[in-house]
Structure 1
């Protein structure tokens, strides 16, 4: 298909086969009806209807509590895992929708199959006459066979039903799948793409065109899909800009170049709960504490450690009768989480986290004035991979690099190799660790050490060596110019406390200590006794 826009031509690519899977009536939530089955819809139950209103129109309504989505998430990931046996290009849309690019599988089956697929499986939208001769018809028919296999397996293995749409792009596959529900599938061939788009009537029904864009289009009297197809492109470009105008114009003809993007781990994991009006800070804190416990369970299943927490609050204004949502977020120290089981917070760390959350709440809500909270939500963002309990201070200092010692002014270097691991301790399983620093931080640390050493000792240089001992890690600075030595002993007890990363300011402080205390005896006796509260030696040496 071709569409003309001010002398330019946009070509429609028919080479792909995309399946859109939409699970039937997947989940619900208390206070409002997030979704309902088709029998309930026949009785007037609609999405986002208050439960009290839903019971009025359907007194025999059976409600499923959707406050805790743990089981729904688990089932949703099982569906995704099933789809991954057909393609590695799976794009998740929430818990109940997935795009699957089966183009490679279709090509493989068509090459291996001795029998040609003559009929499409399931429903067909539009006319089967005048089909395209580029080969897309055969590919899409094979796509319907695969879609039926997927739906059959979902039923037999997971006891789930769902609808499927099959098309040569994501847009058409999604719209086609909505034409016959529940538990059915529909394919649309390229020759019927325009007809399918016109069946949507209003432009707001086009996937990808939201409320704001709909209002913009209506402002220049574009209300229906047909209006959009017949509009002057220059007028549309003045409103939206050239790139966005071209995308929107193409969508009206069923042309969508967006690829199926393989979905990785989510950037944010959150949970929120609408509630009866909360007016007391103690009630808010208790509700947030419950949400935190449930959120930690979700994060533990993800396997990563969060670095930022975000609070969402919906306040109801009795004067204007309007609810408004606001959010605030702050960074958190990832070391408060137990790497073995992130759900198990110590009382101290739980209090730290709750203190952060309540500070965010007090920034969003003026508790000195009456307030009415109708929704609270918590989410974690900015994740890092969970560290191994075997991470050690030595790994921080020497992972994949060697400590260099400058031996003369010609920069002839002697390499000292450092052991990879410290000896294991009896309670290693109780480590609370941070993620190991990047190689870049390690390089900065090493270069700074060498630069400091060279400046202090000139051509004579300085030897830096580390040795693993029964008491911990011994760091020795041997100044050849004046025969001076200095050592720092890092006790194994502090290792068990979870030292995983030395910040740059602590590194600098360490070097200042070294320069100011050249005599080993003074470092071992005098400095350890007189160190400041936030001294690096207190950080490293407990006793």
Structure 2
């Protein structure tokens, strides 16, 4: 095989990055995802030109609409002029899309052995299938390739599907391997890619047959190549990149416009193109309107091009170190980043909305939006973090997941810190996101959010008025004319509950610790001669003390802002208010009650001390003397 021109013209002093070709990565991209969700809800829409709008922009459209000239990210007014019969559906509420995305992701994850399944947005998924592919390559019988069987489970040899291993499934690049001798099962790289193409075809078929969603798939040895390969034959198709020899990946990358390369964003592409042309690239108001025409080949053949030069072109305040090396690798089709391991727990959950045609300026407008955002946030918390408490570990489905009815449920995790309502201001009509004036505040998440007995609307109303509005007041003391263009509410720092029953709070009971410390530390304690050693007891002296001790234990066991199972399920408003005093990082704001004997005043120092800690406090004074 001849060395590509691109390789020959690269300066010898510049090191060519070495790719890792021992992995197999699949990249799935659901076709017209937003439109497909509505089409699955109403199959009659499949034959009509369908557009999904968000504010005044067409977020996406189905292929019937695209065939009539409608393009993604068009203004609605322009799209309707091109296609008067365009059917529009509102896609501003992402709930339905998130729910479907999670369902499809869960299906793909169930076919992963190593759990390396990574979502990219709502409609793209990466899978590292190296282990399952290598296992099945070993099972191939060279004498019966046309009757091969792909084993989906290492424990169950009957679970799988039959396939013809004498040829790849779907499209390949190149269409025919130029080195026929190398394209045999004796070539481990080819064998892995061939078998992987059949797994991709099987999963695509199941997505369509079982869920009603078509997809495009790319098959290669890293994430960048797999994603880029998948774009070559769309929709409802797949492409396997047969990069079997040194330079194959570079040849494949050569004709790709740099803006199409995954990881080459708007700003990066614009700066590189400006340097190559030696003139400023025309500024555009929105990044989706910019599409660099310059190809990877033109960049790498530019005189003096190197990682160091890219660092100078792209470097500056706030830019990550090593950006030159990173882009240099991407231009060569080298991406050593692995697929992230799947997790049932998201790192954060964020809800936001933009106000393009009319900014928010009055109290009524603000509260309406805060309630709507809070409702979406609570629903997503329940969908993403609540599972059935029946030892199955499966998430409740349908309204059960959000209404608290039906199967008993438990929390997988809780956010250790609340939300950062990020309030973003702007006075322009649809200003670029980078021109927004951002400001934010955060506070602990109130514990009533985790009550599963109350409805979403009730909790959302409390969250908006009792937690988010006060945070907003810390950002804007004025009562109106804020000119808000975007509001974001986000819960962060997700922490697994650590409890088998899913109760919130995985920490130790501080009340119990105080009660048992005498017995635990007895052999290590030195007592004054005139102070008798206390007798440890594990039982309260009266039924009244039992009631108070139990309530303290429920509150003090909370780690983070959440409390225990008792606090989540308790309908008593006073108890809820007490639980809200628990700080975000696991400390407790003390409260006392003179009427029920919960605390006593020390006769020596006058401090209020819980009953269960009084004996230790007396020893403190005795030892101090």
Aligned partner of 2:557 in structure 1 is 500
Alpha-carbon distance, 1:273 to partner: 2.6
Aligned partner of 1:30 in structure 2 is 54
Q: Residues 355 and 51 of structure 1: is their aligned pair in 2 closer, same or farther, counting only changes over 3 Å? A: farther
Query: 1:319, 1:216 → 2: CA distance?
Result: 27
Alpha-carbon distance, 1:238 to partner: 4.5
Aligned partner of 2:171 in structure 1 is 123
Alpha-carbon distance, 1:188 to partner: 0.9
Residues 136-189 of structure 1: per-residue CA shift (max 9 Å, x gap): 111111111000000110011111100001111111110111111111111111
Query: 2:519, 2:485 → 1: CA distance?
Result: 63
Determine which of 29, 48, 68 is the counterpart of 2:73.
48
Single out whichever of 119-128 and 48-57 deviates more from structure 2: 48-57
Q: Does 1:107 align with 2:181?
A: no
Alpha-carbon distance, 1:288 to partner: 0.8
Decide whether the 8 Å contact of 2:220 with 2:226 is kept in 1: yes
Aligned partner of 1:297 in structure 2 is 379
Single out whichever of 208-217 and 161-170 deviates more from structure 2: 208-217
Q: Identify the structure with the greater strand proportion.
A: 1
Aligned partner of 2:155 in structure 1 is none
Decide whether the 8 Å contact of 1:271 with 1:379 is kept in 2: yes
Query: 2:128, 2:218 → 1: CA distance?
Result: 12
Is the partner of 2:199 in helix, strand or coil? helix
* Correspondences of 1:519-534 after superposition (within 5 Å): 527=601
Decide whether the 8 Å contact of 2:126 with 2:339 is kept in 1: yes
Q: Residues 193 and 463 of structure 1: is their aligned pair in 2 closer, same or farther, counting only changes over 3 Å? A: farther
Aligned partner of 2:488 in structure 1 is 377
Alpha-carbon distance, 1:358 to partner: 2.2
Decide whether the 8 Å contact of 2:352 with 2:486 is kept in 1: yes
Query: 1:151, 1:326 → 2: CA distance?
Result: 41
Aligned partner of 1:171 in structure 2 is 224
Alpha-carbon distance, 1:121 to partner: 0.9
Q: Residues 107 and 350 of structure 1: is their aligned pair in 2 closer, same or farther, counting only changes over 3 Å? A: same
Query: 1:392, 1:251 → 2: CA distance?
Result: 43
Q: Does 1:274 align with 2:301?
A: no
Decide whether the 8 Å contact of 1:472 with 1:492 is kept in 2: no
Decide whether the 8 Å contact of 1:140 with 1:189 is kept in 2: yes
Decide whether the 8 Å contact of 2:599 with 2:608 is kept in 1: no
Query: 1:207, 1:308 → 2: CA distance?
Result: 33
Determine which of 24, 27, 30 is the counterpart of 1:20.
27
Aligned partner of 2:365 in structure 1 is 283
Q: Residues 284 and 356 of structure 1: is their aligned pair in 2 closer, same or farther, counting only changes over 3 Å? A: same
Query: 2:206, 2:429 → 1: CA distance?
Result: 53
* Correspondences of 1:446-525 after superposition (within 5 Å): 457=528, 463=534, 465=536, 467-469=538-540, 491-492=548-549, 494-495=551-552, 498-501=555-558
Decide whether the 8 Å contact of 2:350 with 2:377 is kept in 1: yes
Determine which of 192, 197, 216 is the counterpart of 2:253.
197
Query: 1:74, 1:289 → 2: CA distance?
Result: 21
Backbone CA RMSD of aligned residues: 4.3
Alpha-carbon distance, 1:49 to partner: 2.5
Q: Show structure 1 runs of 5+ residues with no match.
A: 414-452, 475-488, 514-522
Q: Show structure 2 runs of 5+ residues with no match.
A: 35-51, 146-164, 278-293, 316-320, 386-412, 559-581, 615-625
Q: Does 1:78 align with 2:100?
A: no
Single out whichever of 316-325 and 214-223 deviates more from structure 2: 316-325
Decide whether the 8 Å contact of 2:190 with 2:242 is kept in 1: yes
Query: 1:108, 1:525 → 2: CA distance?
Result: 65
Q: Residues 70 and 351 of structure 1: is their aligned pair in 2 closer, same or farther, counting only changes over 3 Å? A: closer
Aligned partner of 1:308 in structure 2 is 418
Aligned partner of 2:440 in structure 1 is 328
Q: Does 1:135 align with 2:188?
A: yes
Alpha-carbon distance, 1:56 to partner: 2.5
Question: What TM-score results when the alignment is normalised by the length of structure 2?
Answer: 0.64
Single out whichever of 297-306 and 149-158 deviates more from structure 2: 297-306
Question: What TM-score results when the alignment is normalised by the length of structure 1?
Answer: 0.73
Q: Does 1:217 align with 2:272?
A: yes
Q: Residues 334 and 509 of structure 1: is their aligned pair in 2 closer, same or farther, counting only changes over 3 Å? A: closer
* Correspondences of 1:88-99 after superposition (within 5 Å): 88-99=115-126
Single out whichever of 273-282 and 356-365 deviates more from structure 2: 356-365
Query: 2:445, 2:72 → 1: CA distance?
Result: 40
Is the partner of 1:235 in helix, strand or coil? helix
Alpha-carbon distance, 1:335 to partner: 2.6
Query: 2:520, 2:369 → 1: CA distance?
Result: 59
Alpha-carbon distance, 1:490 to partner: 6.6
* Correspondences of 1:234-273 after superposition (within 5 Å): 234-239=308-313, 243-264=322-343, 265-273=345-353
Decide whether the 8 Å contact of 2:311 with 2:324 is kept in 1: yes
